[in-house]
């Protein structure tokens, strides 16, 4: 099992060098990047190298990929990124019906071809809005996935639950199409209000033994730890890493 850390969690705790030192000390060896980090590539690569961390996956916006493809490919190659996921579309740009979501999926798959041709895994990272059923009764995440069998998913398990769905059911549904997962926990009702209702992994309401068993059955071995708004990223990183490492002992 590979355990990574989405650097977006620590965006409010600069500088980056401090974050990377903290993660290395905690025991991480992999991180997941996001587009806001790519403005200083030399500094980013040096900071990763000095802390013996690898950026094995990253998030890139569809506008970046469509508007600056050569740069996006260069960044991925320079950092040794193996997996690229498009993570989001603004509310005003989101499709509104089945046909539009299906067209968006095809656009996404087409945008990913140069990455796939370069030997990288390419796919979509979900939030909750992809589970808002269209007027035709379709779930947008299904329509995205249907665009191409080569289009992979980075399933954000916390957002699946927030959307009112069972993460285990979606893991089983897309077994073989899940390149990695975001391991994210949800606080009990009324708790962690200052952290937008998210919890450190293993300290919330998610049924991790069942989820981990489903992930192992689906052949998923890349777990990316995430919290959208921790008030202490060191606490979050260390406690969450310990929880995820303990999953192995819970799997029968």
Q: What is the pLDDT of residue 66?
A: 87
Q: What is the pLDDT of residue 162?
A: 98
Q: What is the pLDDT of residue 249?
A: 72
Q: Please report, for residues 9, 19, 28, 212, 239, the alpha-carbon distance to residue 245 in angstroms, rounded to integers and kept in the order given.
A: 19, 20, 11, 11, 10
6/33 Cα distance (integer angstroms): 6
Mean pLDDT on 131-145: 98
CA angle 142, 147, 98 (to 5 degrees): 55
184/125 Cα distance (integer angstroms): 13
Sign for the pseudo-dihedral over CA of 248, 208, 21, 41 = positive
Q: What is the pLDDT of residue 35?
A: 93
* pLDDT band for position 250 (cuts 50, 70, 90): low
Residue 188 structure tokens: 């009990």
Percent of the chain with pLDDT over 70: 99
All structural domains of the chain: 2-250 (3.20.20.150)
152/180 Cα distance (integer angstroms): 9
CA angle 60, 70, 108 (to 5 degrees): 45
Mean pLDDT on 221-238: 98
Q: What is the pLDDT of residue 252?
A: 42
Q: Tokens 């970046």 appear where? A: 64
Interval 199-215: pLDDT, tens: 999 999 999 999 999 99
């Amino acid at each position: 099992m590979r355990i990574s850390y989405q650097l977006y969690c620590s965006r409010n705790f600069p500088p980056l060098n401090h974050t990377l030192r903290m993660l290395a000390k905690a025991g991480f060896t992999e991180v997941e990047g996001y587009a806001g980090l790519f403005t200083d590539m030399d500094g980013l690569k040096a900071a990763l190298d000095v802390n013996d961390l690898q950026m094995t996956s990253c998030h890139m916006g569809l506008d970046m990929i469509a508007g600056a493809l050569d740069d996006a490919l260069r960044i991925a190659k320079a950092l040794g990124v193996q997996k690229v996921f498009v993570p989001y579309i603004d509310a005003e740009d989101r499709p509104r019906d089945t046909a539009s979501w299906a067209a968006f999926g095809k656009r996404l798959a087409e945008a990913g071809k140069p990455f796939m041709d370069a030997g990288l895994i390419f796919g979509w990272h979900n939030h909750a809005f992809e589970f808002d059923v269209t007027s035709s009764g379709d779930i947008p995440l299904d329509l995205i996935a249907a665009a191409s069998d080569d289009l992979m998913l980075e399933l954000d398990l916390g957002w699946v639950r927030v959307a009112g769905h069972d993460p285990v059911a979606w893991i089983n549904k897309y077994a073989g199409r899940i390149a990695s997962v975001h391991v994210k926990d949800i606080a009990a009702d009324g708790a962690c209000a200052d952290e937008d209702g998210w919890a450190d992994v293993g300290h919330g309401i998610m049924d991790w033994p069942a989820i981990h068993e489903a992930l192992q059955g689906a052949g998923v071995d890349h777990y990316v730890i995430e919290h959208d708004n921790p008030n202490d990223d060191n606490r979050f990183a260390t406690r969450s890493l310990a929880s995820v490492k303990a999953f192995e002992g819970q799997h029968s």
